[in-house]
Amino acid sequence: MNQNLLQLGTWLSIGSPVIAELAGLCGFDWLLLDLEHGCGSEAALPEQLRALRGSATRGVVRVGAPHPDLIARVLDWGARGLMVPHVNSAAEAETIVRAAHYPPRGKRGFSRTVRAHDYGMRPPETTPAPLLLVQIETREAVMQAAEIARVDGVDVLFVGPADLQHDLKQRAPLPGEDYEACLCRVVEAARTAGKAAGILVRDSAELQPRLNQGFTHVAVQSDLSVLRDAYQKLLQTRPVRTS
C-alpha cells in the first residue's frame, strides 16, 4: 500500500445495497459500511458487499466493538477492510490484529467455504489480507499513537473527529494538546511507522487542508448527509404562493 497515495472514500450509514452499488460505480476508492452508528444491521451487510462485487471500490466495514466473532463474520462475508473504533493502546490494536488474521499470525477461525473465498472456489491463500484501520478517538489514543502505529498488521491510524473533539472538551486542556496538535501527532506517528493516516471530513472544502497535513485515507461526507443537504436545498427553492 502506497502511504502517500490519496484514497478517497465516503461513509455509508443507511445500509442500502443500492447506495453502495451507486457509490462504487461513481468511483470511490473505498466505502465505509457502518455497523457502529449506521442504520443497517449485520443482516444488511452481505447485500451491501455483494453490490460491490466486481468493483475496484474497497468495502470497509466498521464494527461496533472489537468482538472477535463479529470481526470474523464481516471478513468471512467479504469485507476487504476493517475499521475498529476506540482503539487506545498497542495492546488493544494487537488483539484486533489477531482477531482479523488466521493462525499463526492470529486466532481467526478458518473456513474454506465462506464468501471471502468464493464459497470454496478460490484458494484461501490467494485472498489478500484485509486493510486494518484503527480509530484514534481519545486523548489517550493520541498519546499512544506511535505505539499503536508500530503494531504489525495495523495499516491506517484513522481519526474519529467527533469523538476526539468531544473527548478533548471533557478534559482539562494541556499545552500543545488542542485538536489540531493532536491531528499532527497522529499523522507523524503514522508516517514514522510507515503507516497511513486517515480522517472523516464533513465538508469537501476541508479535504485539501487535510491532505496537505498528511492524511491520505480520507472519507468525505456520508450518504445521510448528502441526502439531507440535497433535500434541504430542494426545499429552499420551493415557490411561495402569491395568491
Catalytic residues: 37
**Eight-state DSSP code of residue 13:** -
CB 222 within 8 A of CB 12: yes
Contact between residue 71 and residue 108 where contact means Cβ atoms under 8 Å apart: yes
179-192 and 161-169 helices cross at what angle (nearest 10)?
130
**DSSP three-state, residue 134:** strand
Q: How many CB atoms within 10 Å of residue 113?
A: 12
The rounded Cα 184 to chain-centroid distance in angstroms is 19
Q: How many CB atoms lie within 10 A of CB 66?
A: 19
Cell of 223: 450518504
Q: What angle do CA 75, 77, 80 make, to 5 degrees?
A: 50
Pairing type for strands 156-159 and 30-34 reads: unpaired
